């Protein structure tokens, strides 16, 4: 029997801080920014996982809290109002990051109408404010696609404060 050497695990270390300039320089190496995508089951219990995905990818960004809220609202809409919630349904989260902005997109499985970002919402009800919250947090919002192919609903958030 060969000798086996056990290597002790390293203790958890505090993360090393990387300057914002270095992060921006790494992002700028890729024209159009960096893009990540992940597919989730089309169920409400996947929303916290989608939030965690965004939190992990944008941990060093000044807009990570806003981005996390945006993805929660858009993913919840995909699950509650589209065929993403049908058996076997899914939704996809796409994060595109440049040094100046972050775009969060949620792809759904289609079926119902289009999102209405400019609609007034009531403050005395529990539902119906998600898109208003997204529009308030984002610089730009929009959608593409249709009922047959699904929708891409997106919001762009400034990654750093305006000068």
- The domains of the chain are located at 20-158
| CATH architecture classification, 20-158 | 2-Layer Sandwich (3.30)
Query: How does the average pLDDT of the chain come out, rounded?
Result: 83
**What distance in Å separates the CA atoms of residue 86 and residue 54, rounded to the nearest whole number?**
24
All residues at 6 or more sequence positions from 58 whose CB lies less than 8 Å from its CB, including other chains: 64, 67, 68, 95, 97, 102
Tell me the pLDDT tens digit for each residue of 48-100. 999 999 999 998 888 999 999 999 999 999 998 888 989 999 999 999 999 89
pTM, full prediction: 0.79
**What distance in Å separates the CA atoms of residue 63 and residue 101, rounded to the nearest whole number?**
9
Q: What is the dihedral of CA 41, 134, 68, 74, to 10 degrees?
A: 0
Place of tokens 């409400």: 44
Q: What is the pLDDT of residue 47?
A: 96
């Amino acid at each position: 029997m060969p000798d086996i050497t056990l290597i002790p695990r390293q203790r958890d270390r505090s993360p090393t801080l990387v300057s914002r300039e270095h992060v921006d320089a790494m992002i700028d190496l890729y024209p159009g920014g960096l893009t990540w995508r992940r597919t989730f089951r089309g169920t409400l219990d996947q929303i916290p996982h989608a939030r965690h995905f965004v939190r992990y990818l944008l941990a060093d960004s000044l807009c990570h809290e806003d981005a996390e809220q945006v993805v929660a609202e858009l993913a919840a809409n995909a699950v509650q109002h589209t065929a993403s919630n049908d058996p076997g349904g899914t939704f996809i989260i796409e994060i595109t990051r440049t040094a100046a902005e972050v775009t969060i997109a949620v792809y759904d499985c289609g079926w119902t109408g289009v999102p209405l970002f400019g609609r007034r919402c009531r403050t005395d009800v529990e539902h119906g404010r998600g898109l208003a919250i997204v529009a308030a947090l984002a610089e730009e919002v929009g959608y593409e696609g249709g009922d047959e192919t699904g929708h891409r609903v997106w919001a762009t958030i400034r990654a750093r404060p305006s000068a």
